[in-house]
């Protein structure tokens, strides 16, 4: 598959600087201020990046629960893409365990593989990998850091609890 040139923009959120990439047709990546993006992608604006920034601002303000953006995660195996598709089905304010997510993709014994796919999600927040927690209810792994995961879950609960 040939990818179009990706451009990126930044959004300054309450949890830090977020980089968003687009190929002009889809949002392809979102990451928490990763080092090295500036060297691989061209900084720029396009209508899709502007929409993504606006929707993130609404999300962090508590006025948006669903994102309405065309997403095409960069990379990923067929299994990872299935996991990412299921992540999009977790409702705002809800959490699933890794086991529940594994069951949703059709393999209840694949919790570790689901965890790896969750960690590899290239479009965090828009594909809500922060909504997956350990079976015991504890926060576990998040590529952006557990403090960011906790913040996002509190934002969605709005009652101060995770």
d(CA 21, CA 8): 4
The β-bridge partners of 43 are 8
Give every CB contact of residue 11 below 8 A, 6+ residues apart in sequence: 17, 18, 20, 52, 53, 56, 57
Determine whether 33 is an active site residue.
no
Which of 56, 129, 132, 152 is flagged as catalytic? Answer: 129
d(CA 15, CA 17): 7
C-alpha distances (whole Å) from 39 to each of 36, 101, 103 are 5, 35, 39
Task: Give the active site residues.
Answer: 129
């Amino acid at each position: 598959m040939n990818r179009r040139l990706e451009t990126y923009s930044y959004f300054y959120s309450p949890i830090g600087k977020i980089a968003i990439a687009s190929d002009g047709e889809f949002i392809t990546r979102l990451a928490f201020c990763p080092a090295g993006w500036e060297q691989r992608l061209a900084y720029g604006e396009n209508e899709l990046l502007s929409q993504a920034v606006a929707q993130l601002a609404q999300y962090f303000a508590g006025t948006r629960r669903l994102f309405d953006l065309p997403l095409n995660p960069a990379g990923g195996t067929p299994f990872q893409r299935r996991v990412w598709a299921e992540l999009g089905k977790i409702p705002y304010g809800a959490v699933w365990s890794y086991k529940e997510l594994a069951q949703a993709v059709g393999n209840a014994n694949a919790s570790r593989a689901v965890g790896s796919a969750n960690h590899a999600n290239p479009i965090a927040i828009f594909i809500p990998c922060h909504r997956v927690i350990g079976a015991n209810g504890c926060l576990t792994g998040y590529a952006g850091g557990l403090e960011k995961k906790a913040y996002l879950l509190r934002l969605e609960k709005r009652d101060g609890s995770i």
